[in-house]
Chains A and B, each alone.
Chain A
Amino acid sequence: MLSAALTIARKDLTLTLGRGSGLVQALLLGLLLVFVFSLSLQPGQRMTPQAAAAVFWMASAFCQVLIFSTLYAHEEVNGQRQGLVLAPAPVQSIWLGKALAGIGMLAAAQALFIPAVIVFLGQNVSALWPLGLGILAIADIGIVAAGSLLGALSQGQSAKESLLSIVLFPLLIPLFLGGIRIGTAVFSGALAEGAQSWFGIALAFDAIFVAAALALFPAVYNAEE
């Protein structure tokens, strides 16, 4: 299953990055969001660390909607989905492959969003940055696990981006809350009491989303058009 998933991830990354436009669109949307929020500040004014962390995760959320919409669009024409389903590998490997490609693209986008937040929203990165990296990795796993499942669900729909956003955003709020709490600590340098508990909550949601996706993906992704 893992080798099939890696093959699918490599194929998707090659197709998306080879065309260029796939990730650029998602990146631009996220960067535009950060920039638009910077317009709410007076010259020289800094956004509060909590607001800056919320803007970062909002940019990541919109970005991942476009990423999974693009990743599943590769198989929408010429019956390519049937080809993928008929491949001699568990169907869950498709979910895993898309999730792996998705996390790579999301991490690449976030690597640009972080400097954008620091520059446009006037933030500093404190010595707590390893905590920030930790919650980033944990939250991203849950985001792509749910994103890959619901991306498959919205495949072939005329308004797939809005369908994905409507369903996915509220579901991911516990992960975003964890990311915002720890992000606030990273930007402000002060860790609030009990903030570490968000790691446990985010990990629990990762496990729930991965288990749900593995169980439900075969019903969602089949040869039916």
Chain B
Amino acid sequence: MRNFLEKAPCAAPWLALAGGLALAACQWLIFVYAPVESTMGPPQKIFYLHLPLAWWGLISFFVVFLSGIAYIYSRKPVWDALSGAAAEVGLVLAVLAVLTGSIWARHSWGLWWTWDARLTTALVMCFVYAGYLIVRGLDMQPGRKALVCAVVGIVAFLDVPLVFLSARLWSYIHPPSISLEPEMKLTVAACTGAFALLWAGLTLFRFKLALDAQRLDQSAMERLMRRG
């Protein structure tokens, strides 16, 4: 598993390229193939970006949670590097999901922001992972920091199911689900797939950088030890 994780970043450029091309192709699906929604009109098209951004943001945080558990059990730094990479990409996607949602809300509800349960819990999730990334940047002994980050990553994920369930439980303005035409469903599925490639590429790029940073730190430490 460790060898697989360390070799996986080699696929990053190809995944990112495939993701970019697929997203470009998705623009045709969004603006030509999918019909214009009858009540909201063209601004509804932002939905095809909003949903994949939100889903892949949540999946990133699930990766942070799983790699946190893996680090606690194995104490291998590779899991810490994966956690950090997934958290960074996840936060970017989650913030973009909030921003695209806000633009959509301005058109359909007439306001940029309201204290709806789904919106509130999504914003709280962004704050939680922003806090997680601040902890990653603190000056601590490396092993201790990785452990602290693993625990915070696991505990932070406890809020994520709340974000998912909030619209079903007590949201008053954000719809829990939307009925779509078959062309719209296909477009959403294609966009989600394209974002999957882009997400994997970005996460693996960042993961490779984190592994390189760990190797450089290790090498600098060994050189210092040799000097005595």
Contact = CB atoms under 8 A, between A and B. Distances in A.
- A and B are partners in one complex rather than unrelated chains: yes
Interface of A: 146, 149-150, 153-154, 157-159, 163, 166-167, 169-171, 173-174, 177, 194, 197, 201, 205, 208-209, 212, 216, 219-220, 224
Contacts of A205: 158
Interface stretch (B22-30, B33-41, B87-95, B129-137): B129-137
Contact of A167 (B124, B131, B144, B170): B131
B151 A216 contact: yes
A170 B131 contact: yes
B127 A212 contact: no
B158 A208 contact: yes
B159 A171 contact: yes
B148 A153 contact: yes
- Point out which of B120, B138, B154, B155 has the most chain A C-beta atoms below 10 A from its C-beta: B155
Interface of B: 72, 120-121, 124, 127-128, 131-132, 134-135, 138-140, 143-144, 147-148, 150-152, 154-156, 158-159, 162, 169-170
Contact of B151 (A157, A177, A219): A219
5 contacts: A153-B152, A166-B131, A201-B169, A212-B158, A219-B150
Contact of A171 (B72, B138, B140, B158): B158
A150 B152 CA distance: 8
- Point out which of A149, A154, A177, A219 has the most chain B C-beta atoms below 10 A from its C-beta: A219
A167 B152 contact: yes
User: What 6 A-B pairs are tightest by C-beta distance, nearest first?
Assistant: A170-B127, A170-B128, A166-B131, A173-B124, A219-B72, A167-B131
Given A170-B131, A216-B151, A216-B155, 4 more contacts: A153-B148, A166-B131, A167-B155, A194-B170
Contacts of A219: 72, 147, 150-151
Given A167-B131, A219-B147, A220-B147, A157 B138 contact: yes
A177 to B, nearest CB: 8
Contact of B134 (A166, A177, A201, A224): A166
B124 A170 contact: yes
A153 B154 CA distance: 13
A-side interface mostly: helix
Nearest to B126: A170
B144 A224 contact: yes
Given A157-B138, A159-B138, A170-B124, A212 B154 contact: yes
Nearest to B140: A157
A219 B169 CA distance: 34
A167 B135 contact: yes
A220 B154 CA distance: 12
Contacts of A224: 143-144
B142 to A, nearest CB: 13
A153 B128 contact: no
Nearest to B129: A170
A81 to B, nearest CB: 13
B136 to A, nearest CB: 11
Contacts of B147: 219-220
A219 B155 CA distance: 13
A171 B156 contact: yes
- Point out which of B150, B151, B152 has the most chain A C-beta atoms below 10 A from its C-beta: B151
- Point out which of B120, B148, B150 has the most chain A C-beta atoms below 10 A from its C-beta: B148
Contacts of A177: 120
Contact of B159 (A154, A170, A197): A170
A220 B147 CA distance: 7
Contact of A146 (B120, B132, B155): B155
B165 to A, nearest CB: 10
A96 B154 CA distance: 20
